[in-house]
Amino acid sequence: MAWWKVSAAGRDVNPDLTSERERPSFNVETLTNILDGGVEETRVRRAVVSTVIKDPVFSREYLYFKTRSERYEGAIRNSLHLKKKFKEMGWDENGREVDYVYRAIGGETALNMHYFFIRTINNLGTDEQIAKWIPLARNYKIFGTYAQAELGHGTHLRGLETTATFDPNTQEFIIDTPQITATKWWPGDLGKTSTHAVVLAQLYSNGKNYGMHPFIVQVRSLKDHSPLPGISVGDIGPKMAFEHADNGYLMMRNIRIPRENMLSRYSQVLPDGSYFKNGSDKIHYFTLIYLRVSILRGEVMEPLMKACTISVRYSAVRRQSELKPGDREPKILEYQTQQQKLLPLVATCYATNFTVQYMEKFYDEVYGEIQKENFNSVPELHALAAGMKALLTEICSNGVEVCRKACGGQGYSLYSGLPSLYTKVTASCTYEGENTVLHLQVARFLIKCFAGAQLGRPLPTSTAYLSSQGAGTCQARTPADFLTPEIYMKAYEDRAYRLIALSAHKIQNLVRSGMEQYLAWNSTSVELVKASIAHSHFFTVKIFTSILNSVSDQPDIKAVLKQLCDLYALHGIFTSAGDFLQHGYLSGKQVDMATTAYLGLLAELRKDAVPLVDAFDFADEELLSALGSYDGNVYHNLLEWVQKDPDNKKENSVFETYLKPYLQSNPSKL
């Protein structure tokens, strides 16, 4: 058991939470192990987390009161201290410890792009370049960043406008942002930290454009940190969250850098300006996939898990209004409407966890294949990563906001922890590829697979169902039938199949009727996005059901996971019923049955609600929430937080300056 549970149990736990924990239908610790991926992983995670949260340097106690500058300073301090901590503790800088630290520290770190700078040089630099730059970066003799996105272009990389023009006379590249839309915009660590950047720029040599290439550019003095001549650099200002991150902008006016500063493992410019390619730089573009997979755990799934933990515990402690006339005010978790807000999201956490585990494993497999020059699985991985990124960021972000609103007014206070979770997680819908753009990339892959299936070509596993579809209707005859994975899996499969097939036919028909291909695509894009979502949603349901087979020897665990899987699937049918009804796979009566089964599950899972979020195993210091602490003393917590607010301790200058003159001009005799 985690020490934070033991220690909280030693305090006065709110009896409303104690009673929730008395009779879980399953072993909570076992479920935690499954979520972590094994007993040993749980042990390592807890060791890392407790080390971090016990270290006062990393304390987040006053986080909600801090300014942007203070948050930034804290993130830098954390990162520099972490380097020592890793050494001291013997943690692996490339291991799972990194995830666990990030979790424990709530993401309040800097230098993430510095490490991406290192990664990029390692991937794209020659051996000489690696030998020169990596030690400097590793020892913080320089601080780097990766400058790709521009003011005018984000997801669409080919449109980037920064140029690198080779001057054979001086053997230099001239790096230039020729118009304001070419200004580099967003790179992390650039705002106030970096001295160097890997700049992505359009390479020109001998008058010819060779496309995007990476160049190392120094942007600030190592002596006094001032921008070098010709450089404008600074912070892009306040954002919806990420207060600690110094995202920056960078303008470069004909900056000259030596020829050696072009990262040249895969392509180089010779002294005479001629250009050579040495093999494929696919490995670099594989990084995009890596980023999309790697954010899912810490930036997407954990925020929803935290939000569920907070809102479910609060709902078991908050008593309000009247259910049975004359009775004591019930816990708000007794209301069906509250169950319907929260329990499907708890199920979504589990679905997401298993999907993320799958994606991490699949990524590692494909990465292993690539090392052996086998690129066969890359298109499928690319599509899956794009689809899962777009689907999970959307449902997890929306879910966090539902949790927040489910806590009523208290959810609006930063002390609840929920606003900060939302304003941060929602960014994931946009960064590492805007979701609509990603869905359309997935759709392109699906349409291609569908066409391949028509021609009898073999398909990747995740789209194999496009080959074998027979028209049909659902066989369910009772609500209980909808608690059969085969039944709802088929419904999801049919929905995905039909939406893909209909989009493909629509495009085909439009083209046949004389419309240009690109217009036909655009005129179908709303439906294509729906098809991509349906495909990805189906995929997550499939993953979840496959997990059920792997826990057959643990009946208590299997039972509760099956309920969660059923709920996850039926929630989707309940909220997107139109997709399942429109082409007749489900009848109206069957949707009624599915609804009955769905509402029945809410009542069932309500009993395990608190143990199910306890299994996520967050320490109070990780949740940073007055409403979500393990002991459930929410009102005490809120009053304690209020006492911490520095504004409540300061003199109120507004009184002296503005109020007093009124109150005391000709004072009343009150």
**Residue selected from 1, 240, 471, 480 as contacting a second copy according to rule CB under 8 A:** 240
**Whole-angstrom distance, CA of residue 532 vs CA of residue 529:** 5
* 3 state SS of 257: strand
Identify whether the C-beta of residue 248 lies closer than 8 Å to the C-beta of residue 268.
Answer: no
**Residue selected from 56, 90, 229, 578 as contacting a second copy according to rule CB under 8 A:** 578
Interacting span for a second copy (CB under 8 A) from 47-55, 69-77, 351-359, 534-542: 69-77
Q: Is 142 in the site for a second copy (CB under 8 A)?
A: yes
Site for a second copy in 99-118 (CB under 8 A): none
**Whole-angstrom distance, CA of residue 554 vs CA of residue 548:** 10
- The partner residues of 174 in beta bridges, in order of sequence, read 165, 256
Going by DSSP bridges, is the β-strand pair 196-205/163-167 parallel, antiparallel, or unpaired?
parallel
Give me the helices (H) in 55-108, please: 68-89, 97-104
**Residue selected from 25, 171, 181, 268 as contacting a second copy according to rule CB under 8 A:** 181
Interacting span for a second copy (CB under 8 A) from 6-14, 165-173, 308-316, 581-589: 581-589
Site for a second copy in 254-293 (CB under 8 A): none
Interacting span for a second copy (CB under 8 A) from 7-15, 100-108, 121-129, 321-329: 321-329
Residue 403 Cβ vs a second copy, minimum distance, rounded to whole Å: 13
Q: Is 518 in the site for a second copy (CB under 8 A)?
A: yes
Site for a second copy in 70-99 (CB under 8 A): 72-73, 76-77, 80
Residue 225 Cβ vs a second copy, minimum distance, rounded to whole Å: 4
Interacting span for a second copy (CB under 8 A) from 84-92, 153-161, 301-309, 357-365: 153-161
Site for a second copy in 600-659 (CB under 8 A): 635-636, 638-639, 641-642, 645, 647-648, 650, 652-655, 657-659
Q: Is 16 in the site for a second copy (CB under 8 A)?
A: no
Instruction: Give the pair of three-digit tokens for residue 551.
Output: 């826990």
Interacting span for a second copy (CB under 8 A) from 90-98, 141-149, 448-456, 472-480: 141-149
Chain centroid offset of residue 4 CA = 26
Interacting span for a second copy (CB under 8 A) from 292-300, 324-332, 348-356, 370-378: 324-332
**Residue selected from 37, 152, 273, 460 as contacting a second copy according to rule CB under 8 A:** 152
Q: Is 513 in the site for a second copy (CB under 8 A)?
A: no
Q: Is 69 in the site for a second copy (CB under 8 A)?
A: yes
The closest alpha carbon to 525, from 423, 443, 453, belongs to 443
How many beta carbons lie within 10 A of that of residue 510, not counting itself? 18
Site for a second copy in 350-409 (CB under 8 A): 401, 405, 408-409
**Whole-angstrom distance, CA of residue 395 vs CA of residue 637:** 30
Torsion of CA 165, 169, 170, 175, to 10 degrees: -10
Q: Is 153 in the site for a second copy (CB under 8 A)?
A: yes
Going by DSSP bridges, is the β-strand pair 146-147/196-205 parallel, antiparallel, or unpaired?
parallel
Site for a second copy in 447-506 (CB under 8 A): none
**Residue selected from 15, 38, 95, 159 as contacting a second copy according to rule CB under 8 A:** 159
Residue closer to a second copy by CB (options 222, 451) is 222
From 20, 161, 172, 432, the catalytic residue: 432
**Whole-angstrom distance, CA of residue 571 vs CA of residue 488:** 11
How many beta carbons lie within 10 A of that of residue 427, not counting itself? 16
How many beta carbons lie within 10 A of that of residue 262, not counting itself? 23
Q: Is 169 in the site for a second copy (CB under 8 A)?
A: no
Residue 43 Cβ vs a second copy, minimum distance, rounded to whole Å: 33
Residue 629 has φ and ψ, to the nearest 5°, of -65, 155
Q: Is 210 in the site for a second copy (CB under 8 A)?
A: no
Interacting span for a second copy (CB under 8 A) from 87-95, 164-172, 308-316, 526-534: 526-534
Residue 525 Cβ vs a second copy, minimum distance, rounded to whole Å: 5
Place of tokens 């956490």: 349
Q: Is 663 in the site for a second copy (CB under 8 A)?
A: yes
How many beta carbons lie within 10 A of that of residue 464, not counting itself? 12
Q: Is 222 in the site for a second copy (CB under 8 A)?
A: yes
Write the secondary structure of 137-173 as one string of H (helix), E (strand) and C (coil): HHCCCCCCCEECCECCCCCCHHHCCCEEEEECCCCEE
Residue 119 Cβ vs a second copy, minimum distance, rounded to whole Å: 20
Instruction: Give the pair of three-digit tokens for residue 517.
Output: 């291909």
Q: Is 334 in the site for a second copy (CB under 8 A)?
A: yes
Residue closer to a second copy by CB (options 18, 525) is 525
Handedness of CA 127, 132, 138, 144 (dihedral sign): negative
* 3 state SS of 172: strand
Interacting span for a second copy (CB under 8 A) from 6-14, 215-223, 298-306, 449-457: 215-223
Residue closer to a second copy by CB (options 245, 561) is 245
Residue 328 Cβ vs a second copy, minimum distance, rounded to whole Å: 11
| Residue 432 annotated among the catalytic residues of the structure | yes
* 3 state SS of 407: coil
Instruction: Give the pair of three-digit tokens for residue 588.
Output: 């109206």
**Residue selected from 10, 207, 229, 238 as contacting a second copy according to rule CB under 8 A:** 238
**Residue selected from 6, 56, 324, 458 as contacting a second copy according to rule CB under 8 A:** 324
Interacting span for a second copy (CB under 8 A) from 179-187, 262-270, 358-366, 563-571: 179-187
Residue closer to a second copy by CB (options 249, 363) is 249
Residue 194 Cβ vs a second copy, minimum distance, rounded to whole Å: 10
Q: What is the DSSP letter of 327?
A: S
Instruction: Give the pair of three-digit tokens for residue 495.
Output: 């929905």
Instruction: Give the pair of three-digit tokens for residue 127.
Output: 């051996």
* 3 state SS of 637: helix
**Whole-angstrom distance, CA of residue 648 vs CA of residue 652:** 9
Place of tokens 């549970």: 5
State the binding string over 427-446 for a second copy (x if CB under 8 A, else -).
Answer: x-xxx--xxxx--x------
**Residue selected from 96, 239, 284, 558 as contacting a second copy according to rule CB under 8 A:** 239
Residue closer to a second copy by CB (options 115, 266) is 115
- The partner residues of 205 in beta bridges, in order of sequence, read 208
Going by DSSP bridges, is the β-strand pair 172-176/163-167 parallel, antiparallel, or unpaired?
antiparallel
**Whole-angstrom distance, CA of residue 329 vs CA of residue 36:** 37
Number of residues that bind a second copy (CB under 8 A): 130
Going by DSSP bridges, is the β-strand pair 163-167/255-258 parallel, antiparallel, or unpaired?
unpaired
**Residue selected from 237, 258, 279, 472 as contacting a second copy according to rule CB under 8 A:** 237
Lay out the sheet containing 248-252: strands in order across.
184-185, 248-252, 231-235
Report in angstroms the alpha-carbon separations of 376 from 292, 358, 368, 532. Answer: 19, 19, 12, 22
Instruction: Give the pair of three-digit tokens for residue 277.
Output: 């390619």
Identify whether the C-beta of residue 269 lies closer than 8 Å to the C-beta of residue 259.
Answer: yes
**Residue selected from 93, 516, 546, 555 as contacting a second copy according to rule CB under 8 A:** 516
Going by DSSP bridges, is the β-strand pair 231-235/248-252 parallel, antiparallel, or unpaired?
antiparallel
Residue 336 Cβ vs a second copy, minimum distance, rounded to whole Å: 5
Going by DSSP bridges, is the β-strand pair 255-258/172-176 parallel, antiparallel, or unpaired?
antiparallel
Going by DSSP bridges, is the β-strand pair 267-269/275-277 parallel, antiparallel, or unpaired?
antiparallel
Residue closer to a second copy by CB (options 96, 341) is 341
Site for a second copy in 28-57 (CB under 8 A): none
Q: Is 335 in the site for a second copy (CB under 8 A)?
A: yes
Positions marked active-site: 432
